[in-house]
Structure 1
Amino acid sequence: MEWNVYLSGEIHTDWREQIIAGAEDLPVNFASAVTDHAASDAAGDLLRQPESGYWRDHQSARVNAIRTKTLIEQCDIAVVRFGDKYKQWNAAFDAGYCAALDKPYITLHDESLIHALKEVDAAAMAWAETPKQVVELLRYVTTKA
C-alpha cells in the first residue's frame, strides 16, 4: 500500500525536506500546502484586486483551501508542524480538520509548546519533537507487519 502523507504547518525551516529525504525508501507520497509565502498570500489576486487587506486575505485563504481541503481529505495521515517563531493558526486549523474527518495526524513541535497545543496534541495519534522521529513513526506504520 502506498500511503499519502500531508505535511502541514510551519514554512520557515527545512523540516519537510528532512522528512521526505528520510522516508525515500518508504511506501509514501507527500503533499503539502503551497509553501511559498508570497504566492500563498497572493493566491486570491488571481480573481481580482481586493479593496482591502482583509478581503485579500479572505480571497487567498479560500483559494488556498481548495488545495488544502482536497489534500487533507485524500491523505492517510498528516504531519502538523508548529514552529516556535510564528503562530501557525493554519496548522491548528488543519489539525482540527483532520480530527473532524477522523484522519490520524502526528504533531511535530518542541516541548515549549506542550501547554499551548494541549488540545491539538490530545487529538493527535502521536507527538514528535524531530523530523527524524516522524520518519521512524512513518517507517513503523507503513512497513511493520
Structure 2
Amino acid sequence: MTLSVYLAGQIHDDWRKQLKSKAIEKNLQIEFTGPQEEHDLSDDIGAKVLGEQPNKVVHDDAASGINNFRTEIMLKNADAVIALFGDSYKQWNTAMDAGIAIGLGKPLILIRPDNLVHPLKELSNKAHVTVETIDQAIQVLEYYYK
C-alpha cells in the first residue's frame, strides 16, 4: 500500500532528497509531493500565466495564488504531511502548510531542532508527532508499515 506524503518546508537545501533516499533504503512505499522546488518558477508563475504584472507586489500576489492552488490540492490529496523547520531560512511557508494540514485533519510529523522548541510549541502541540531529525521521521513512517 502506497502512502502519499507532502513534504512542507524550505526549498533551499537537500533535506527532501535526504528523506526520500532514506525511505528508499528502508523500501517504504511512499509517494512524496511538496511545494514547487524550482524557486524562480515559483516566484514567476503568476507572470508566466497572467502576463507581466505592474509591480513586485502584484507580481508576488499573482504567483502566490497559483502556488496556493497547487499546494492546497497536494495537501488535500496527501495521506500525511511532514513539516521540517530548520535554522537556515525563514519558515513562513512551512508554518502555513503545517497549519493547513492541521486544519484538514491530516496526520502531521513536525521536524524541528531543539533550539526551536519554544517558538514552535503551539504548532508542535497540534502535530501528531514531533521529532528532531529526518531519521526519526523516517522511523515514524517505517512504523506505519509494521
How many residue pairs are counted as aligned between the two chains? 143
Counterpart residue number, 1:28: 30
1:31 and 1:8 map into 2 onto residues whose CA distance is 9
Please report how far the alpha carbon of residue 38 of structure 1 lies from its aligned counterpart in structure 2 after TM superposition.
1.5
1:55 aligns with 2:63: no
**What is the TM-score with the length of structure 2 in the denominator?**
0.93
1:40 and 1:13 map into 2 onto residues whose CA distance is 16
The correspondence for 1:105, drawn from 105, 108, 112, is 108
Unaligned runs of 5+ in 2: none
Partner SS, residue 32 of structure 2: strand
Counterpart residue number, 1:18: 18
Unaligned runs of 5+ in 1: none
Cα RMSD between the aligned structures?
1.0
Provide, for residues 31-81 of structure 1, a one-character-per-residue CA deviation record: whole Å limited to 9, x for no partner: 111112121111111112111111111111111112110010000100011
1:122 and 1:12 map into 2 onto residues whose CA distance is 27
Structure 1 segments of 4 or more deviating over 2 A? none
Counterpart residue number, 1:86: 89
Counterpart residue number, 1:140: 143
1:136 and 1:62 map into 2 onto residues whose CA distance is 35
Please report how far the alpha carbon of residue 18 of structure 1 lies from its aligned counterpart in structure 2 after TM superposition.
1.0
**What is the TM-score with the length of structure 1 in the denominator?**
0.94
1:55 and 1:72 map into 2 onto residues whose CA distance is 25
Q: Percent of aligned pairs with the same residue?
A: 36
